Structure 1
Amino acid sequence: MNIVGIAGSNVGSKTRTAIDYTLKMARDKYPDATITLLDLAENKMVFSDGRNYWEYEGDTKYVTETIMAADAIIIGTPTFQASIPATLKNIFDLLPVNAFRDKVVSMLVTAGTAKHYLMAEQQLKPILAYMKAHIVPTYVFIEDKDYLRKEIVNDDILFRLDRLVEDTVVLVDAYAAIRQAKDAEYDF
């Protein structure tokens, strides 16, 4: 299984901290999985100009091809102006409309206040659904108060991140079994 974690901003540390915790949990629980971190702050991305994703070069090509090769994607995003950051939106613009077909996508959202908890429902999930993702229904919302010195200090958040990893992998396995059973119906 190929799991890709995306730290979806080029500024700040809270989303990266949450993705680091999440991917460590995934590595501990599923040591046979290939787990890759894509931190958009560490990659020089160009803006989408309408080309196919494989026609780009450098970090842009690496990031898009890594996402396209994934079985599961865990997106970490901060909340900026009650929406996703432009760096994450650019990733979606670089990919084809069916980029997430047969992929399971889960998400964690960081925000300064509880007032933005619906951002994932109103901004992120519609984009993922349009791009044909199998979306893990629940997501983890993390506020500033859940951090202390770049560490997550809320045990409930840690429990929910662990559950998010488990739900993601269970859905990957379930959808793979469904596709395998469907393919077995054909005689050729």
Structure 2
Amino acid sequence: MKIVALAGSIVGSKTRTATQKIVEMLQEKYPEHEVILLDLADYQLVFSDGRNYFDYEGDTKYVTETLMAADAIVIGTPTFQASIPATLKNIFDLLPVNAFRDKVVS
């Protein structure tokens, strides 16, 4: 099973710290599964422009393809202005409509 932990903010350190802890716990409890941390602060992502996710290049392609290949996704996010950060919203916009179908997302 491939599990991706997504730290959905590019500012601050609390979201990354919490998401990193989840990765460590999953790796310890389920060593047979592949667990990947995607911290959006580590990548240069373009804004969604309506293309299919596989048409992007560079970091954007890597992040979207990694999420699409995951069996389970853990999303870490702070709350800004009673909503999610724009960087995380952009990820959702980059992915196809059925991106989370048949995946466990938390």
TM-score, with structure 1 as normaliser: 0.56
- Aligned partners of 1:61, 1:4: CA distance in 2, in Å? 15
The answer as to 2:78 corresponding to 1:78 is yes
Q: Cα deviation per residue 1:105-148 (whole Å; 9 max; x = unaligned)?
A: 01xxxxxxxxxxxxxxxxxxxxxxxxxxxxxxxxxxxxxxxxxx
For residue 99 of structure 1, report the CA deviation from its aligned partner.
0.4
Q: 5 Å matches for 1:160-175?
A: none
Q: Percent of aligned positions with the same letter in both sequences?
A: 75
- Aligned partners of 2:74, 2:98: CA distance in 1, in Å? 17
Counterpart for residue 58 of structure 1: 58
- Aligned partners of 2:38, 2:99: CA distance in 1, in Å? 17
Counterpart for residue 40 of structure 2: 40
For residue 3 of structure 1, report the CA deviation from its aligned partner.
0.1
Counterpart for residue 91 of structure 1: 91
- Aligned partners of 2:21, 2:95: CA distance in 1, in Å? 27
Q: 5 Å matches for 1:125-164?
A: none
Of Structure 1 and Structure 2, which has the larger fraction of its residues in helix? 1
For residue 87 of structure 1, report the CA deviation from its aligned partner.
0.2
For residue 81 of structure 1, report the CA deviation from its aligned partner.
0.5
Query: How many aligned residue pairs are there?
Result: 106
List alignment gaps of at least 5 residues for structure 2: none
Counterpart for residue 173 of structure 1: none
Q: Cα deviation per residue 1:91-115 (whole Å; 9 max; x = unaligned)?
A: 0000000001110001xxxxxxxxx
For residue 10 of structure 1, report the CA deviation from its aligned partner.
0.6
- Aligned partners of 1:57, 1:21: CA distance in 2, in Å? 29
Higher relative contact order (CA 8 A, sep 6+): 2
TM-score, with structure 2 as normaliser: 0.99
**What's the RMSD between the two structures over aligned residues?**
0.4
Q: What secondary structure is seen at the aligned counterpart in 1 of 2:64? A: helix
Counterpart for residue 7 of structure 1: 7
- Aligned partners of 1:21, 1:10: CA distance in 2, in Å? 17
List alignment gaps of at least 5 residues for structure 1: 107-188
Q: 5 Å matches for 1:112-123?
A: none
For residue 71 of structure 1, report the CA deviation from its aligned partner.
0.3
Q: What secondary structure is seen at the aligned counterpart in 1 of 2:76? A: strand
The one-letter code of the counterpart of 1:52 is N
For residue 35 of structure 1, report the CA deviation from its aligned partner.
0.5
